[in-house]
Each structure stands twice: as structure tokens, then as C-alpha cells.
Structure 1
């Protein structure tokens, strides 16, 4: 068996970690692909750069939560596993985690997860989990509750789009109240994550501070992270995201307490399917809330 070291990530690990991530998730998506799903494609060069930029950000904000497994016999240090977690005040979240298929069943995943969970230092935690049996077993043994989540996919029927008002473009001076809303919904605010996300996505917020809510919309018009004080505000924000979509779209991380999103997706003629779990420990499932895969 190859000798593998689990250690803190360094900036010069990023390119190798991205390659390991791309291969790990490509194989995972291919193995769980539904017959009706499009063929799985390798990660694009643009998406690879985005992954590296995002992990560099996490490494800069909270390096103690960023871990890699490296083959010691591979000259430059080949990354074969990774666990990128972050602490935001009283909350811990796992941004991404995986082990290359050829290095599983060797205890590497357990060692990575142990390191990331040690960094949590007892904080409540949250992350989005795949359906991989070994991973879900590890999460449950670590004390996480696994809540099935749904996704909605398809092309929005433009005739179904309602007129939505009461929204505006978001700005950095919105972050303070957004963090208060985050704290109400998910134990702690996103803090520096908001500045990063605003630099990479469109932010739309509620005009009425008495009924706060916000949504980040990515470059393909998909709701990447949504939080609101009331389901009605959340629905308006999701409709705004769907109106921004181009072609086939995705609404992800829909848990049972967030069935308000299902009503919007069905009205827009999207199809519903199951998609892994939201894992939480020491906290309820956030609602009204659609988690981000990486920023939770």
C-alpha cells in the first residue's frame, strides 16, 4: 500500500487537489447518473479555475480546516484526498471532501474527516452529502443527522413567471443584516464568504428590511444560496433566479422544511428528483433556506 500523509493544505497543493476533486466527483456523478440525466462531462477549465480560486479563499480565511492526503512517494506530492472545512464564528461547515477511487478502503477518508472534525472544536455543523455508502456511514457515526434533499431540473416555462416586486440588487452594505439573518437560520453568519460570493455572483435582496431575504445567482442564472425570514419572500427570490436562468437550470439542496421551493419549481414546470443529504449536527435544518454546496 502507498504511504499516504494527511496534513494541512498548502497553496502549492491547490492544482493537484483540484485534479483529485475533478476525478473524484466525475466518477461519483457517473456512477449515480440516472438514465434520464445528461451524460456526465469532465470539469471544464473555467470550473477548475473557479474551484482553485474558491479553495484558495478558504485557505486564506481558515487554513486550519483545510486538509489533504498526499502520496509521500510521488515526487511533487500527489493529492489523493481532501477535506476542506471552515469555522465561521459558532458554526463549522464542510465545503468539500473526497478520496480518489483507487485510494479508498485504506482509512484515508476517515483520517481526513477526523482532522476536519477536530477543527470544528465541538461547534454545530452542516454540509451537503453525496449518497456514497462509506461516506454517509462515516457522517452518521460522527453524530450528523442525514436529511434527504431534492433537486429540481429542467427548462423554465417562461409563461409561468409571475411579476415579482419588492426586490433590488444587493450591495456590500447589505452584509450586516444578511449575517443577522444567517445567524437566525443557521447559527452563524457567512461573514467573509459574502464578499467572495458578491465578487463571483449576482446578489438580489428584499427591499423591505422588516421581511429580509437574499439570493445569490450564478452566471448560469441558478440560485446558488438563498435565505429569507418568510417563505413568501423566499419564493419571490427563487422566482427571480428562475427568471434569470438560461436553458436547463437547477434548484438544489431542497429539504423537507423547504417545500415552499417545491411549489415554485412545480409551477415553473421543473422536474423533481432526489439528491443526497443535508447533514447537520447540533442544529436544525435551516428554513426558509437553500444551501450552497460549498458555502452552506
Structure 2
């Protein structure tokens, strides 16, 4: 392998970075797949389009946080990160299959971490890849195991759901306030992108407030609330809109309220990956997104 160069990502790199990350994560999914779950699939076109949209957004809002590794053969690895109100987040970290263990990932992560030197806190939705997890821990991150729920929802278990409405851009200030309370930093400009990708639902009452982004299958992509009662209401609304199967990801030990909802809906519990945090406690009530965190 020729000399590897680590350089800032450019807008024209984003499509190639998407394919590299898709191949890398698919290879990891195949290696760690459970026989009890469906066989992992390569990222489909509609999700690839979303990946390109969000990464382009990160480049526009915080261009210094994203990096690529390359040599004479082309792109070898990618890391995308960004800062939001003194919170540093790692959105993507991937090296081409077959090239792990050669120091490429270490250099990429170091570049991304330097971008977060001025931030007070750090947050990563980590896979179960042992090499990546080792690097996160050595960088000072605490590793919190994650669970996810999946299966067919017991329709008879769904309660009467009230005080949930469709959200809009008028709710951004409210959502930023909830973000600061749950994870210590607002999503800020990320809300506009998330609203372009997913459906937004909101619950705002005198006793509590919260919101959730749902994909086309009503799967939760991110959920935040000021109390558990509101979070439970939003999660039941999401499950009520799901089809034959539902998945709720990114559950930590601080969010047992979500586990209880899933068990009541007759979903199965599995384990996958970690929420890696630096100088912060587990967000709750909160179900983070893998990239927007």
C-alpha cells in the first residue's frame, strides 16, 4: 500500500464516502449478525441518499470535522464529526474492509477528535467493532451497552394516545430547549435536515414536553422528552403507526421506560453496540440517532 494521506473531506468526496461506509458497515454487520435476526443488507438507495444529505449538511455547518484517508488507489477511510454547543459528535467512522488494523482508522479518529478539542462533552453511537471500541475507550469515552427492540407489535396492548400532534419548524426552539435539558446541547441546524428526512411528532403540555422523529415505517429515529410520561406517550404513538414489524434502537440503561414499553408491546430485546460518552451522563429520557446523536 502506498503512503496514506489524511485530508479534510470535500463536497465532491461525499458520494464515494457513502459507498465506502456502506461497504464497511455491511461487512461488520455480516461478521456480527445473529442467526435469530434477518440477514443484514447493504444500505439501500433511499438510505444512501439520506446519508449523502446529512453528510453534506455536516460539511456545510462544520467543515473542519470531516476527514478522508486516501492513497494512490483512492479513498480508504472516512470520519465525519461536528460540534454543537460544546458537544462534539462522531457521525461516521469507517475503513474499507480488509484494511482495518493498519493504522488508517487511528489517524482518521485522531483528526476528528482534534476538531472537538474545544468541546466540553463528546458523544458517539458506537458499533460492536472491537478495534473501534478500543480506540474510543483509549480516547477517554465511557462505554454504555445498548439494547434494541424488534418484532411484531401486540395491537391489543396499545393504549389510548392523546396529546400528541404533528410538529413543524415552529417547534425548533422548543426542541432545542429539550435537547439542552436531555443531552446538554441543542441540535440547532440539524433539526431542519431531520424535518426534511422524517416525520416530526410533538407532545407539549403543562406537565412535560417532548418530540420524536419517525421514518416512513414509523420507526423512531430520535426521541427526547422532559419526563418519562411524555417519552412513553411518544413511543406508543410511533409503535401504533408501525406496520407488521417494529424496531426501536439505541436503548441504554438510563432509558428503561422504553424497554418497558417495548416489552408491553411484545417486542423482543437484543443487544448491539455502545453509546460512548465523554464528560457527560447518559441522556434520558432520550433515544439518540446514530448520526445526529
> Scaled by the length of structure 2, what TM-score is found?
0.97
Which residue in 1 is equivalent to 2:53? Answer: 53
Which residue in 2 is equivalent to 1:273? Answer: 270
Instruction: Establish whether residue 167 from structure 1 lines up as the match of residue 164 from structure 2.
Output: yes
Aligned 1:1-296 pairs, distance under 5 A: 1-71=1-71, 73-74=72-73, 78-123=74-119, 124-208=121-205, 210-296=207-293
Q: Using the alignment, how far apart are the partners of 2:168 and 2:206 within structure 1?
A: 14
Any runs of at least 4 consecutive aligned residues in structure 1 with deviations exceeding 6 A, and if so which?
none
Kept in 1, the 8 Å contact 2:50–2:197? The answer is no
Which structure 1 residue ranges, 5 or more long, are not aligned? none
Change (3 A) 1:209 1:215: farther
Tell me, what secondary structure is at the counterpart of 2:42? coil
**Deviation by residue 1:66-97 (Cα, 9 ceiling, x = unmatched):** 111112x13xxx22111110101111111111
Aligned residues: 292
Kept in 1, the 8 Å contact 2:86–2:118? The answer is no
Which structure 2 residue ranges, 5 or more long, are not aligned? none
**Deviation by residue 1:134-178 (Cα, 9 ceiling, x = unmatched):** 111100010000000100011212121111101111111111121
Q: Using the alignment, how far apart are the partners of 1:198 and 1:47 within structure 2?
A: 15
Q: Using the alignment, how far apart are the partners of 1:113 and 1:23 within structure 2?
A: 19
Tell me, what secondary structure is at the counterpart of 2:98? helix
Tell me, what secondary structure is at the counterpart of 1:162? coil
Q: Using the alignment, how far apart are the partners of 1:176 and 1:207 within structure 2?
A: 12
Q: Using the alignment, how far apart are the partners of 2:250 and 2:9 within structure 1?
A: 28
